[in-house]
Structure formats: structure tokens, C-alpha cells
Amino acid sequence: MQQETLHQCLDFYRIDHFFEQVSGLDDHYANSKLETGRQMLERLHLDPDELLLIGDTGHDFEVASGLGCSCILVSNGHQSHERLLETGALVIEDLSQLLN
């Protein structure tokens, strides 16, 4: 998601306070998700072993693997439940399942 739109969504849903930092797409940096993730890990001094990436595509799983962090995929987004299962990641149907 484009960076400005991402911030607008976080503000609209009043969840921005849950995040120390968010990174969306910014046309002026042609970084990949993996490179953006690496930069964020370095900037925030984060240990990948303590992180969970939540995504909705097989590419998100690839990014998590490249960063060395855990991953949960949500199947009510861009790709089907069956396709996400092919990654080998834990797949849930709805974000509310994270609370259980």
C-alpha cells in the first residue's frame, strides 16, 4: 500500500498507536519489501527471531523467510486459503483468530 494511504488507513481505524513504525510503498525509494524489512530491522535494532510478519500473499511469506522471522498468512486478502497453504506457513481466515 502506498505510504500516505497506509497512514490514512491506520488513522481512520484508530490503530496507529499500536505501531512504532510502518512502511508502505514510496515511489521515491524503489525498495523491495525484503529490502524495506531489512532496513527496518536494522533501524529499530530488532531480532528477527522475536518477530511475526502477518501477510496475505505468498510473497509476504517469502519476505518473512528472507528476514528470518515467523509468518502467519491471512486468507481473506489477496490470495486464496488453498494457495497460501502451499507456502507451508500457518494460514488463518481472519485477523480475529490471532486473539485466540
- Phi and psi at 74, nearest 5°, equal -110, 125
Query: Widest CA span of the chain, in angstroms?
Result: 39
pLDDT at 100: 73
| pLDDT 10s digits, 18-56 | 988 888 877 555 468 899 899 999 999 999 999 999 999
Does residue 42 belong to any structural domain of this protein?
Answer: no
Does residue 53 belong to any structural domain of this protein?
Answer: yes
Does residue 18 belong to any structural domain of this protein?
Answer: no
Does residue 1 belong to any structural domain of this protein?
Answer: no
Domain with 95, as residue range(s), is 47-99
Q: Which of 44, 5, 51, 52 is nearest to 24 (CA)?
A: 5
Cell of 13: 481505524
Does residue 30 belong to any structural domain of this protein?
Answer: no
Does residue 3 belong to any structural domain of this protein?
Answer: no
Query: Into how many domains does the chain fold?
Result: 1
Q: pTM of the entire structure? A: 0.82
Q: What is the DSSP secondary-structure string of 19-69?
A: -S----BBTTB---HHHHHHHHHHHHT--GGG-EEEESSHHHHHHHHHHT-
